[in-house]
A and B are shown apart, each in its own frame.
Chain A
Amino acid sequence: MSRPRNHWVLPVSVLVALLLGLLPLPAMLQPLRPYWLALVVAYWVIEDPDRAGLGFAFAMGVIADLTFGGLLGEQALRLTVMAFILQRFRSQLRFFPLAQQALAIGGLLLNDRVVGAALRLSLGEPQLPWTFWWAPLLGMLLWAPVFLLLDALRLGRSR
């Protein structure tokens, strides 16, 4: 708490995550698009619980739903579930080495896919092609760079 914090990092990181979600990808790569917003939300929930809690995750989800033109509330629900699990295991996660943390995030992203699929099933909406299940893997691999980058930006030069 004594360290100076950069408060602009949170809104900017969310904005960048949304833009990365909208960025057009070739049809081949589209299923592999990692859930950037989930990574960013996960970072803030783990590292800055005073500002980012369930309400933050919910609000980001609603914004994402509006941005991506999906079902309103879908991502809000998915991100809220993820933020809740993160809050529960926050104390452990913070002391995990980065690799282990990435593994946990991968599990959460997979769980997020399951939640999304269950939601679609219950509403009778069409499911995503199975190739979209690769995305959590990529998200897992990207956790370390995202974490280090956001940490560096938030805390100044380095931890």
Chain B
Amino acid sequence: MPSYAGPAAARPGDVAGTLRLLAYLALSITLIVFDHRGGWLAQVRARTELLVQPLWWLAGLPARLGDNVRDNAATRARLSAENRALRNALLVNGARQARLQAATAENERLRGLLGAVERSRLDVQLAPILDIDLDPTRQRLVLDLGSRDGVSVGQTVIDAGGVLGQIIDVKPSTATVLLLTDPDHAVPVAVARSGVRLVVYGRGDRLELANVPLSSDVKVGDALVTSGLGGRFPAGFPVGTITALRPDDSRAFLLGDLKPAAQLDRGRDVLLLRRVIVSPGPGAATAQAARNAAIPDSPISTRAGPQPSQAQGPRTTDPASRGPQPPGPTP
């Protein structure tokens, strides 16, 4: 203590300060532990987070304004170029869709012959992302839609490429998405080529395939789709492509790195799968609101990565692990 501070007089205050510090430290550690474990604190938290909503809205404002300005300032030439590109894409997709429609019809007919449960169309809702940065250790997104718009906890979130995550928290005007890459997240998947069932874990900023048996029919380049086990995610949506396989610490299993099928970094919009499945039939989804679109189940699932070669000789695939076959590759 320097001389001018009056060390003798400061002593009692020091003790009281230290005690106060200890009290606050104990309080925050209690909070941390309770929040880490989950439980009753989650409810308190959900309530209090409502107060934060205006702040989020305010923080998302600059990005929204920026988007507006960019849209307004875009030159005519750029817009028409973009328009042309989009029109081409629409044409190509339309053609593809038409072909898939035929395949879907045939699929449904065959399923009918097999007596299987009818797969129906999936209903999706377009959801804009509220552009704010949350805690960088957690892989979350905030959507600009909430319970007021019919969003509910547990809904699957996808984009054009594949599964993005699921809704874990809904407020009246916002919803929080847990991304596949969050360390708390795991998704049951199946290898599109061989049907081997595995689990993909989030590892912060990447995806990992853990506990892959050495004998299973899994290769680098394999596309993974959701298997639908566990009931959280519907089956057949692309999750990612295996980019590397290596033995884990025990040398008894393999670890795999994945390239996510969805664009996990910021986009502008995502699609929310509605739980409600529209009854099958060609006319079921024609009268949708302008923001909503109905897409058949198969077109998305068939975009899963590179086409696997059919000439692949089966290695030591356990027949039991083949299970319900995920939608196969398009011819």
Bound Cα distance A151, B140 (Å): 36
Question: A145 interface residue, CB < 8 Å from B?
Answer: no
A interface residues, how many (CB within 8 angstroms): 46
Inter-subunit contact A68/B36 (CB<8 Å): no
Inter-subunit contact B17/A87 (CB<8 Å): yes
Please pick, from B20, B56, B62, B134, the residue contacting A54 in the complex, using a CB distance under 8 A: B20
Query: Which chain B residues border A119 with CB–CB below 8 Å?
Result: 32
Question: B41 interface residue, CB < 8 Å from A?
Answer: yes
B interface residues, how many (CB within 8 angstroms): 47
Inter-subunit contact A22/B132 (CB<8 Å): yes
Inter-subunit contact A80/B133 (CB<8 Å): no
Beyond A66-B48, A91-B5, whether A77 also contacts B137 by CB under 8 A is no
Inter-subunit contact B134/A69 (CB<8 Å): yes
Query: Which chain A residues border B35 with CB–CB below 8 Å?
Result: 71-73
Beyond A69-B176, A80-B24, A125-B183, whether A22 also contacts B56 by CB under 8 A is yes
Inter-subunit contact B29/A54 (CB<8 Å): no
Question: A118 interface residue, CB < 8 Å from B?
Answer: no
Most buried by B among A15, A21, A62, A69: A69
Q: Within the complex, what minimum Cβ distance (angstroms) separates A137 from chain B?
A: 17
Interface string of A40-78 (1 = CB under 8 A from B): 000000000000011101100110001111111110110
Inter-subunit contact A76/B36 (CB<8 Å): no
Query: Which chain A residues border B229 with CB–CB below 8 Å?
Result: none
Query: Which chain A residues border B17 with CB–CB below 8 Å?
Result: 54, 84, 87-88
Q: A71-B32, A123-B32, A125-B137 are in contact. List 13 more A-B contacts (CB 8 A).
A: A15-B55, A23-B62, A23-B132, A53-B20, A58-B28, A61-B28, A66-B51, A67-B55, A69-B135, A69-B138, A73-B31, A81-B21, A128-B137
Instruction: Name A residues whose Cβ lies closer than 8 Å to a Cβ of B.
Output: 15, 18-19, 21-25, 27, 30-31, 33, 53-55, 57-58, 61-62, 66-74, 76-77, 80-81, 84, 87-88, 91-92, 119-120, 123, 125-129, 132
Instruction: Name B residues whose Cβ lies closer than 8 Å to a Cβ of A.
Output: 2, 4-5, 14, 17, 20-21, 24-25, 27-32, 34-36, 41, 45, 48-49, 51-52, 55-56, 58-60, 62-63, 131-138, 140, 176, 183, 203-205, 265-266
Closest 8 CB pairs of A and B: A73-B31, A22-B59, A70-B135, A77-B28, A72-B35, A73-B32, A73-B28, A76-B28
